[in-house]
């Protein structure tokens, strides 16, 4: 905050400037100038991560897209492998498209739901704990796995929760290591 020197607060991170210093006039006006770029909207500078809404859309959309692409590719390969001798081109193409579409949609839906649950739990954890770190992601991953497999029985839910927690922790650690050691 650039202000007259009569205002004595917030003198750190500023320097004093005298626009009349080259004139021999008795006007004594000292101004405190900031030494770093000064934000007009402090909330812009304070923003360090996506909001919970952005997170929800990002994880759900990314999960669905990744699942759809992987599932479609796998279904396409499976459809190609199931081709019988004597099939015409139309029948072969129809089988490939059906298999790819079906597998892609199914895996896309699954990963989209996983992303939705993970984003919701992580945002909830960040809100409750008031901090954003590895523990939030690991606990959110554990909760996601447990919820996703809850209908399949307690043993399957426990295993899925463990896998989810380990995967989330590994992903976050990998991302931090990537940012630190890979020169981008």
Q: Does 31 bind another protein (CB under 8 A)?
A: yes
By beta-carbon proximity to another protein, the closer residue of 34 and 61 is 34
By beta-carbon proximity to another protein, the closer residue of 49 and 81 is 49
By beta-carbon proximity to another protein, the closer residue of 14 and 78 is 14
Cα torsion through 12, 15, 16, 22, rounded to 10? 180
Q: Does 2 bind another protein (CB under 8 A)?
A: yes
Torsion sign (Cα): 152, 155, 156, 160:
positive
Q: Could you say which of 16, 33, 177, 178 contacts another protein (CB under 8 A)? A: 33
Residue 5 burial by CB count (10 A; 0-12/13-18/19+): exposed, middle or buried?
middle
Spatial contact of 79 and 100, defined as CB atoms under 8 Å apart: yes
Q: Does 52 bind another protein (CB under 8 A)?
A: no
Spatial contact of 147 and 110, defined as CB atoms under 8 Å apart: no
Distance of CA 45 to the CA centre of its chain: 19
Measured from the CB of residue 145, what is the shortest distance to another protein in angstroms?
A: 31
Q: Could you say which of 11, 39, 129, 175 contacts another protein (CB under 8 A)? A: 39
Measured from the CB of residue 89, what is the shortest distance to another protein in angstroms?
A: 17
User: Which single residue is written with the structure tokens 């976050």?
Assistant: 172
Q: Does 40 bind another protein (CB under 8 A)?
A: yes
Q: Describe the strand order of the beta sheet including 31-34 as a list of residue ranges.
A: 3-4, 31-34, 14-17
Spatial contact of 30 and 17, defined as CB atoms under 8 Å apart: yes
Q: Does 44 bind another protein (CB under 8 A)?
A: yes
User: Which single residue is written with the structure tokens 């029985």?
Assistant: 153
Q: Does 20 bind another protein (CB under 8 A)?
A: yes
Q: Could you say which of 10, 13, 19, 58 contacts another protein (CB under 8 A)? A: 19
Q: Does 181 bind another protein (CB under 8 A)?
A: no
Task: Point out which residues bind another protein (CB under 8 A).
Answer: 1-4, 17, 19-20, 22-24, 29, 31, 33-41, 44-45, 47
């Amino acid at each position: 905050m650039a202000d007259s020197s009569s205002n004595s607060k917030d003198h750190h991170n500023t320097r004093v400037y005298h626009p009349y210093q080259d004139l021999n006039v008795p006007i004594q006006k000292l101004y405190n100038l900031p030494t770093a770029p000064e934000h007009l909207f402090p909330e812009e500078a304070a923003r360090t991560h996506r909001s919970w809404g952005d997170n929800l859309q990002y994880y759900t959309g990314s999960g669905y897209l990744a699942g759809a692409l992987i599932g479609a590719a796998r279904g396409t390969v499976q459809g190609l492998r199931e081709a019988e001798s004597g099939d015409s081109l139309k029948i072969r193409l129809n089988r490939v498209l059906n298999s790819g579409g079906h597998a892609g949609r199914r895996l896309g839906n699954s990963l989209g739901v996983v992303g939705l649950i993970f984003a919701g739990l992580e945002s909830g954890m960040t809100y409750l704990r008031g901090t954003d770190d590895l523990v939030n992601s690991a606990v959110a991953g554990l909760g996601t796995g447990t919820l996703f497999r809850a209908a399949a029985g307690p043993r399957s839910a426990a295993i899925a929760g463990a896998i989810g927690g380990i995967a989330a922790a590994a992903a976050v650690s990998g991302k931090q290591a990537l940012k630190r050691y890979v020169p981008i």
